[in-house]
């Protein structure tokens, strides 16, 4: 006998159940397949929901983390003043505060192609922009950054010059298109290159997270805007993030519901298989009862069979779901290893747990029925 067999026989219900399942391998395999499909449905749909949510959050990018401050309707100046910037810095603590001046211009390539771009003048470019090529310096004093789309269209590469306000700037970084609302064509130049006004058009505060951004918004509101007076206009897209999250929570629930239906179908299949197999073995169970096997022991044996189906189906299903999850994350997020994060991984646990629970519940009735059959009736077959 195999080592596994020896171990199982220490628990007679396990050993008997294992052998019984081995008697009709095709039926056992099909019942297990039903459970596998149910688990894969639950776990893969759950993981797909997580992947979609993660991708949507990434697409929204820094938007939710950024707080944009402009001159309010009751402001005396036509922008955000240096004093206000200092006040903002003191309110937000350590988060980067980036004053900006904006304008627009038309860039043209050597062969006459033109592109309309918005121009942003900043000093600490690294806080706002991430580059795919070149660098975004902490202090932008010379050179410029250009969005990738525009650069491609105009045939501009790293190190090429662009003209703004009759001055040449060498492109030192290509900015990834954000994909969010801030996306579009943008030329980033040193702040000194845009206007020479005192005030700034906007100030962006980069918070570590969406929640922190909202916290900063409320602090700034109470510092600058009292009652009906709006000294500064403060905007943040964290609420968009919240809506997105809530949408995906609903979507996930719906997906899990669909997955759960397939597991319910699978557990009905197990109920059927267990019922059939106990009816077929009625005489045999009668023999067990006749030779003195207790009702509880018969019940445990059959319940164990159902549990085995659930555990095997759950393990195989979880493994298959992990594979599916790797593919889903590879396709949606480009990084398959993200599936190993707990928020995805837990759906494997849910799927397995549901599978075992559904199988045990499905086994209860057949087990109870077989155990309580009168031996003298059962022996007649």
Partner 1 sequence: MTVVALDDAVKRYRTGGEVIEALAGVDFRADRGEMVTVIGPSGSGKSTMLNLVGLLDTPSEGTVRLDGRDVTDFSEDELTEERRSEIGFVFQAFHLLPMLTAAENVELPSMWDTARDRSDRAVDLLGRVGLGDRLEHTPEELSGGQKQRVAIARALINEPDVLLADEPTGNLDQDTGRTILDELTRLKRAEDVAIVAVTHDEQLVDYADRVVRLVDGVVQ
Judged by the rule CB under 8 A, the positions of this chain that interact with partner 1 are 10-13, 16, 19-20, 22-23, 283-284, 287-295, 297, 374-376, 379
Measured from the CB atom, the residue of 8 and 122 that comes closer to partner 1 is: 8
Query: Shortest Cβ distance from residue 347 to partner 1 (Å)?
Result: 36
Minimum distance from residue 299 beta carbon to partner 1 (Å): 12
Q: How many CA atoms lie within 13 A of 166 on its CB side?
A: 1
Report d(CA 234, CA 242) in Å as an integer: 18
Q: Which residue, 25 or 110, has its beta carbon nearer to partner 1?
A: 25
* Minimum CB distance to partner 1, residue 363 (Å): 18
Report CA 55 to chain centroid distance, whole Å: 7
Least gap, CB of 355 to partner 1 (angstroms): 25
> Residue 31: CA atoms inside 13 Å, Cβ hemisphere, count?
31
180: left (phi over 0), alpha (psi -120 to 50) or beta: beta
Largest CA distance in the chain: 105
Give the number of other CB atoms < 10 A from CB of residue 239. Answer: 12
Comparing CB distances to partner 1, the nearer of 12 and 323 is 12
Angle CA 109–170–116, to nearest 5: 40
Of the pair 276, 327, the CB lying nearest partner 1 is at: 276
Residues in the chain: 381
User: Which residue, 138, 128, 141, 115, is CA-closest to 175?
Assistant: 128
Closest CB to partner 1 among residues 195, 297:
297
Least distance to partner 1, CB of residue 274, Å: 16
């Amino acid at each position: 006998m195999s080592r596994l067999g020896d171990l199982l026989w220490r628990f007679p219900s396990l050993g008997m159940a294992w052998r019984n399942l081995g008697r009709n391998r095709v039926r056992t395999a099909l019942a297990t397949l039903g459970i596998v499909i149910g688990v894969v449905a639950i776990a893969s749909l759950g993981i797909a929901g997580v992947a979609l949510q993660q991708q949507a959050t990434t697409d929204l990018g820094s938007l939710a983390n950024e707080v944009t401050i402009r001159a309010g309707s009751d402001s005396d100046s036509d922008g955000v003043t240096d004093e206000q910037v200092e006040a903002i810095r003191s309110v937000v603590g350590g988060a980067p505060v980036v004053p900006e001046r904006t304008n627009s211009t038309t860039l043209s390539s050597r062969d006459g192609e033109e592109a309309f771009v918005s121009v942003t003048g900043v000093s600490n470019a690294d806080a706002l922009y991430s580059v795919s090529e070149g660098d975004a310096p902490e202090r932008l004093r010379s050179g410029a950054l250009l969005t990738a789309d525009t650069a491609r269209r105009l045939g501009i590469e790293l190190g090429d010059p662009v003209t703004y306000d009759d001055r040449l700037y060498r492109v030192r970084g290509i900015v990834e298109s954000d994909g969010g609302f801030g996306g579009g064509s943008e030329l980033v130049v040193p702040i000194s290159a845009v206007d020479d006004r005192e005030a700034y058009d906007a100030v962006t505060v980069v918070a570590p997270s969406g929640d922190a951004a909202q916290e900063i918004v409320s602090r700034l509101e109470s510092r600058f805007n009292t009652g009906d007076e709006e000294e500064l206009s403060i905007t943040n897209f964290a609420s968009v993030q919240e809506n997105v999250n809530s949408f995906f929570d609903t979507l996930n629930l719906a997906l899990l519901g669909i997955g759960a239906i397939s597991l319910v179908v699978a557990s009905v299949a197990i109920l059927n298989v267990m019922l059939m197999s106990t009816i077929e073995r009625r005489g045999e169970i009668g023999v067990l009862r006749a030779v003195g096997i207790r009702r509880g022991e018969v019940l445990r044996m059959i319940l164990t069979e159902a549990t085995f189906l659930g555990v095997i189906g759950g393990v195989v299903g979880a493994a298959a779901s992990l594979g599916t999850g790797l593919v889903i994350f590879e396709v949606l997020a480009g990084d398959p290893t993200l599936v190993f994060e707990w928020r995805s991984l837990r759906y494997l646990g849910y799927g397995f747990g549901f599978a075992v629970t559904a199988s045990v519940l499905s086994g209860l009735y057949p087990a109870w029925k077989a155990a309580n059959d009168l031996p003298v009736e059962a022996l007649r077959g």
